[in-house]
Chain A
């Protein structure tokens, strides 16, 4: 029964499992001269996204925007005389998977065109600095600004909330001295938004009634009812879209006189196909630096035409994240163009320098104008306000064009 070879076998099995794969994948080395991901005719960018986890919908929407932008751009000659291509990996919104897939692609890409998810960005942030990897993050937390390699494309959650409060006071009858609610998720997204609402309440003489929830909470009856009993008429939401639907539906079913304002992640066009549609259209507003797909500005107009022409089957699911994905392409194109301006060789260092040299990045009205020239500073401070409308593309219609509250233009996040 006892065989020494048992142990030998199991230990060796372990080793072979690791080594067999490896023996066939000889290091690609030899390319010491060129930067990773750059050849004479191509630039390869990495995408670490979520296709199988909780943000699979957002990931697919961004992908549609990216595909449409770069298909057209590559057809028109690409960037820096090269075609841009992508290595796309799915991390399923898991940190360990993100670390593993990053290791797999890091030596073959010039920069990351997308890294989705706050926990994944946090888990990789030291590694990104070590590898000097310029990374476009799909998250709008001020905490990301500390890392010089992370590119935040838009207004941060704290500034969004400050603008939301300002807009409510000027347009919706939120008066000084009143109470305002804020239901926020535990985690980076919620705590960053709470910093903004706290600052705004203090500056405007409002009483803030914060209420923390967990990502596993699905029914917000208790929170909404408690806020109603405290005399709250306006509630800020830093929640998932399903949680938004719950909050809004609770207020509707009980006939509470309450309106809700949330950031980008608190809305999904899919909500308008469900039972929450009427309540959403009546009570919900979104503040975001990304324009609604139905916007009449040049960028969104063009994007809608491209969706209808090239991806009509995805027209229903396209939304703000598609706008974002398309705008991300425009931003990356401008960074790359600045990096190779004057025939300079493309390297990660050049890309980073170019990124920090951009003072006004315009995206034809897709995203608020961005300023990346001051490292560590919030790149944009303006937002749109939109409301749900099931009849328009993307499910949101603009009610307020770009604006920034006075407090939002000077706000400095603590850290």
Chain B
């Protein structure tokens, strides 16, 4: 077993133990963070690996979230639904988001940089309009209830305990979320390490050169967009499950920008970075809020002197984005990478492993 696998196994083991260690508020934060991380993996694949900017990520998140809700809900008086099993509805919703991405990919494959960013921005407004004006599909302005995953919801008959730990909705949902994140992470690594990953990075670094060496540039750009929208679809399903109800306001332009912040702070193109960035952006406001009375300059409650926690959160991750751009363009992942170099590695172990080169070289700036 390589050290990398060992590390991954260790991380998963620690994560799997979390429901026994932390209370349900922090578990819920963790659920939000994991849902965000899946979406962020998709964006970092698109932006970091293929060099394509998308501001339309919240549209595909909405496609996944609403797709799952529609497919898994029974038809009611106010809104329709297909009443499928949630376990079937979830993958179908991911495919649905993929289909939406595929429909847009002819445009995505022909544009680059800021032009693609603006084109995808249009998707968000289109999405908002559909969500508000197709009540049979989306529930309209008041949104819809999200059907829970059978077996992973709160017990109707009150609280149960497992190994002396309160075993409620957050504790149970933790494991499907962890599995979803792990799957998303492994698929990301597989893509990044494959020929496809190399082709995407070639397209990112120099389109013309990539074309000359035989990479079908348009096709790979379309491919990256498709995969990224499927990631967003899975992220959307998880967001819907964590939130219990989907409403149009959740999937606005701010959400797209938050995802962009996640991948920039985490380090473009790096899986672990996207996860760390997602955790940072998703949990920061709540962490600040929780400890606002301990931190200087923060208002202990609304109306007190000082900046309120949500505002401080925005400042902080705004500052983090700027700091990343100025100091460490490789983001949190870059910081993590620096440390081993400063302290000389214990000599005996293997020389710099060569087997991983492709994935770790990819960090550069589009």
Binding site for B on A (CB under 8 A): 1-15, 17-19, 21-23, 25-27, 29, 49, 51-52, 59-60, 63, 87-92, 94-97, 99-101, 103-104, 107, 118-119, 122-127, 130, 143, 186-188, 191, 415
Contact = CB atoms under 8 A, between A and B. Distances in A.
7 contacts: A2-B356, A2-B357, A19-B18, A90-B309, A104-B290, A107-B25, A186-B141
Interface stretch (B93-101, B106-114, B219-227, B272-280): B272-280
Contacts of A87: 301
Interface stretch (B80-88, B203-211, B331-339): B331-339
A2 B360 contact: yes
A363 to B, nearest CB: 24
B200 interface: no
Contacts of A49: 302
Given A22-B22, A123-B250, A14 B132 contact: no
Smallest CB-CB A-B distances: 7 pairs: A10-B272, A22-B22, A8-B7, A9-B336, A22-B26, A4-B3, A4-B4
A104 B289 contact: yes
B328 interface: no
B272 A6 contact: yes
A14 B249 contact: no
A18 B30 contact: yes
Interface of B: 2-4, 6-8, 10-11, 14-15, 18, 21-26, 28-30, 32-33, 37, 78, 132, 140-143, 145-146, 154, 166, 243-245, 247-250, 254-255, 266, 270-273, 275-276, 278-280, 283, 285-287, 289-291, 301-303, 308-311, 332-333, 336-337, 339-340, 352-354, 356-357, 359-361
Nearest to A124: B245
Contact of B286 (A4, A5, A27, A101): A101
Given A94-B254, A143-B142, 17 more contacts: A1-B357, A3-B340, A4-B353, A5-B336, A6-B272, A6-B337, A9-B336, A13-B279, A13-B336, A17-B276, A17-B280, A18-B279, A21-B283, A21-B287, A59-B302, A97-B285, A119-B247
A104 B25 CA distance: 6
B221 to A, nearest CB: 27
Nearest to B2: A4
Contacts of B270: 10
Contacts of B301: 87-89
Contacts of A60: 303
B21 A19 contact: yes
Contact of B7 (A5, A51, A127): A5
Given A5-B340, A8-B11, A126-B244, A18 B18 contact: yes
B142 A14 contact: no
Given A17-B279, A89-B302, A119-B249, A187 B132 contact: yes
A122 B142 contact: yes
B333 A6 contact: yes
B22 A23 contact: yes
Nearest to A143: B142
Contacts of B302: 49, 51, 59, 63, 88-90
B125 to A, nearest CB: 10
Nearest to B156: A130
Contacts of B337: 3, 6, 9
A122 B245 contact: yes
Contacts of A130: 154, 244
B76 to A, nearest CB: 11
A95 B247 contact: yes
A350 to B, nearest CB: 17
A119 B14 CA distance: 36
Contacts of A23: 21-22
A228 B275 CA distance: 56
Given A12-B14, A13-B336, A126-B244, A27 B166 contact: yes
A127 B24 CA distance: 14
A112 to B, nearest CB: 15
B37 A14 contact: yes
A218 B21 CA distance: 50
Please report whether the interface of chain B is mostly helix, strand, loop or mixed according to DSSP: helix
Nearest to A49: B302
A13 B332 contact: yes
B279 A22 contact: no
Contacts of B2: 4
A201 B286 CA distance: 48
Nearest to A92: B310
B247 A127 contact: no
Contact of B11 (A15, A27, A89, A123): A15
A97 B29 CA distance: 11
Contacts of A26: 23
B184 to A, nearest CB: 13
A7 B247 contact: no
Contacts of B286: 100-101, 104
Nearest to B143: A122
B197 to A, nearest CB: 15
B246 to A, nearest CB: 8
Contact of B360 (A6, A13, A118): A6
Contact of A89 (B21, B132, B283, B289): B289
Contact of B275 (A14, A119, A191): A14
A100 B284 CA distance: 11
Contact of B310 (A4, A5, A52, A415): A52
A187 B272 CA distance: 39
A25 B11 contact: no
A89 B302 CA distance: 7
A5 B6 CA distance: 10
A349 B214 CA distance: 69
B32 A27 contact: no
B11 A11 contact: yes
Contact of A11 (B249, B275, B340): B275
Most B CB contacts (10 A, CB to CB) among A92, A119, A122 go to A122
A305 B37 CA distance: 53
B329 to A, nearest CB: 15
A99 B244 CA distance: 10
Contact of B8 (A11, A25, A90, A123): A11
Given A11-B272, A51-B303, A126-B145, A19 B250 contact: no
A94 B26 CA distance: 20
B241 to A, nearest CB: 12
Of the candidates A1, A18, A99, A124, the one having the most CB atoms from chain B within 10 angstroms of its own CB is A18
Contacts of A15: 11, 14-15, 18
B308 A100 contact: no
Nearest to A141: B142
